[in-house]
Amino acid sequence: MNRPKRKLLIFSKLNLENELLEHIEKFDWEIHSANTQEELIDLSKKHLFKVGIIFSDTLNQVIDSKQINLDSMLVSSIDQFEIIKSSRQFNTSRSINWILGVSPECASLINTDLETLKHVAEYCYGCIPLPIDTVNLLIILENAYGMRGSLYPFTNNQCSNNSQFGIIGNSEPMNLLFNQIKKVAREDYSVLIEGETGTGKELVANAIHNNSYRYEFPFVAINCGAFPTELIQAELFGYEKGAFTGANQRKIGRIEQAQGGTLFLDEIGDLPYKQQINLLRFLEDKTITRIGGSEKIATDVRVVAATHVDLKLAVDNKKFREDLYYRLHVLEIKTPALRHRENDICLLANHFFNLYSLNKNYIAIEFDKYSIQLLNHYHWPGNVRQLMNSIRRGLVVSDSRKITPTDLGIEWDCDNHQVQTLEGARSIAERESIIAALRFTNNNMSRAAELLGISRVSLYRLTLKYMIKSNNIEASAQII
């Protein structure tokens, strides 16, 4: 059975031989060619590419005119990298593994200058010298395609296929949660949502409302811990004009605003004890009285409350009214912690990566394998909210094509037991050994490589991989 064709994007102002293109197509590649930047952007809008080749005619002109120097190399390459950036902006994967086709002299320059190598590595998967060796090209294409799939395995479509109620997840705990939402949404009783901070309790409350018969009416939320004691009653129940100093006009409270719909009381455990009796009275007789008023106002509101604290324990400690607890605790839903949703972590990371990089020109286009490993083994005390902020941080601070553990801002040393696999432990030991060798040799790359028993080019690539920075590494030294 033949495997499906893989899409390959080629950008070139050079006249490529038809024989070369036909040979590539024989190996299950579907070629899409562009000769202008506009054509490149148009193709990137229409197709999902994982691999692309960009032939640098400007670099070849530099070589032909004998102007082989670092400045001209960088100036001429900038145009190519700007083209790559443009294609990322419109490509839904945002992570084409680009292969840069250059003259042999340029390839030599790229491989013998540290700054040039780093500049190219930030944007391209690799380089291939002209004239093209088709066997070598096919090997590079296979590797680039494979790495694109393994390091960044999910797409937006997969995210949408693995979500319900606008909540992403396909793990067993999340499937259980989705089933609970379906059952609870059909009823009209009070609901108590319990779960750690950052587990999406408000998303669950929204899902309950949107799938109930009240969905056409308002969903009104209030954080019970966000207001001072003297203001929370006014926020919930409203007040009449002149009720107190500064009350220049009537204010409708959150309960009235939710008439016919759902009132979401977030962090109900933080509601001041004195105000709990007023909320209890509303739940019992379904009426409210505005501050400074005497009229009883009938309400038709469903209450959904959420908390990250153990309300039963709070009741035992006399910090939460027992009668209010049982009024709220008619139906119960528990949101799972992210550490119990291991199958969802990469799915969520990909979703946030795409969300925060959309229409942005961030350098990073994917995660490296050590970041993925860390994401899957970290215990996430801040749950989905922490993961979301870590991905956002990684995109902003990353200086390379791949987000590293350092970019994510998460501790990954051995002592906190967050990386459990042998590969993760090996990478930590590798990084520490490199840092120690560079310190011992006063950042002499050749001596450090000799000390570590590896080649100098291998050492340099490892310093890029682990984001080990040194201001004293000689940029102009030749890599051998």
Higher-scoring residue by pLDDT: 377, 455: 377
Residue 273 is predicted with a pLDDT of: 85
Measuring CA to CA, which residue among 442, 344, 350, 416 is closest to residue 94? 350
Domain 6-151 has CATH 3.40.50.300: no
Per-state percent for the chain, helix, strand, coil, to nearest 5? 50, 15, 35
Rounded mean pLDDT of 321-325? 94
Most confident residue range from 12-21, 54-63, 132-141 = 132-141
> In this structure, which topology does domain 172-335 adopt according to CATH?
Rossmann fold (3.40.50)
Overall average pLDDT of the 229-245 stretch: 86
pLDDT confidence of residue 153: 45
Distance, CA of 326 to CA of 352 (rounded, Å): 38
| 331: nearest Cα among 165, 184, 178 | 184
Could you give the CA distance from residue 142 to residue 125 in angstroms, rounded to a whole number? Answer: 12
For residues 251 and 240, what is the distance between their CA atoms, to the nearest angstrom? 6
- In this predicted structure, the answer to whether residue 181 has a pLDDT above a threshold of 90 is yes
Is a pLDDT exceeding 60 seen at residue 357? yes
Quick one: pLDDT at residue 222? 92
Residue 436: per-residue pLDDT: 76
pLDDT at 385 over 80: yes
Looking at residue 480, what is its pLDDT? 25
CA angle 218, 224, 229 (to 5 degrees): 130
76 or 165: which carries more pLDDT confidence?
165
> Where does 186-336 show beta strands of DSSP type E?
191-194, 219-223, 238-239, 251-252, 262-266, 287-288, 297-298, 302-307, 331-334
More confident residue, 1 or 130: 130
SS3 250: coil
Q: Which of 360, 302, 366 is nearest to 328 (CA)?
A: 302
In 245-385, the DSSP E strands lie at 251-252, 262-266, 287-288, 297-298, 302-307, 331-334, 366-367
Residue 384 in this model has a pLDDT that exceeds 60: yes
- The reply to whether 172-335 shares the fold of 6-151 is yes
The amino acid at 268: I
Lowest mean pLDDT among 115-119, 258-262, 365-369: 115-119
For residue 199, count other CB atoms closer than 10 A to its CB.
Answer: 26
Which candidate, 339, 407, 431, places its Cα nearest to that of 376? 339
The most confident of the ranges 41-55, 57-71, 257-271 is 257-271
Query: pLDDT for 9-27, tens place per residue?
Result: 888 755 666 777 888 888 8
pLDDT grade for 100, boundaries at 50, 70 and 90: confident
Does the pLDDT of residue 114 top 70, yes or no? Answer: no
375-386 per-residue burial string, b: 16 or more CB within 10 A, e: under 16: bbbbebeebbeb
- Determine the average pLDDT of the residues in 130-149: 76
Residues 6+ apart with CB under 8 A from 315: 321, 322, 325
Give CA–CA dist 102/60, Å, rounded.
Answer: 7
State mean pLDDT over 187-214: 94
Least confident of 51-60, 119-128, 243-252: 51-60
**Do residues 60 and 76 lie in contact, with contact meaning Cβ atoms separated by under 8 Å?**
no
**Which has the higher per-residue pLDDT, 86 or 392?**
392
Question: Residue 70: is its pLDDT beyond 50?
Answer: no
CATH value of 344-465 in 1.10.240.10, 1.10.3720.10, 3.40.50.2300, 1.10.8.60: 1.10.8.60
Per-residue pLDDT at 338? 94
Work out the average pLDDT over 321-335.
Answer: 94
- In the sheet that 6-11 helps form, which strands lie side by side, from edge to edge? 29-34, 6-11, 51-55, 97-102, 126-129
For residue 396, give the amino acid letter: V
Residue 206: how many other CB atoms lie within 10 Å: 19
Beta bridge partners of 220: 263
Contacts of 272 (CB under 8 A, 6+ apart): 229, 232
Residue 151, pLDDT score:
44
Asked if residue 156 has pLDDT above 80, the reply is no
Name the nearest CA neighbour of 283 among 237, 247, 250: 237
Mean pLDDT of 386-407: 88
The reported pLDDT for the residue numbered 194 is: 94
Residue 43 has pLDDT above 60, yes or no: yes
State percent of the chain over pLDDT 90: 29
Distance between CA atoms of residues 373 and 67, nearest Å: 44
Tell me the C-alpha distance between 348 and 387, whole Å.
Answer: 8
Of 37 and 423, the one with more pLDDT: 37
Residue type (1 letter), 139? I
| Domain locations in the chain as residue ranges | 6-151, 172-335, 344-465
Q: Read off the pLDDT band of 294 (50, 70, 90).
A: confident
Q: What is the mean pLDDT of the chain?
A: 78
Q: What is the predicted pLDDT for the residue at 469? A: 64
pTM value > 0.75: no
CB atoms closer than 10 angstroms to residue 472: 9
Structure tokens given for 409: 């801002």
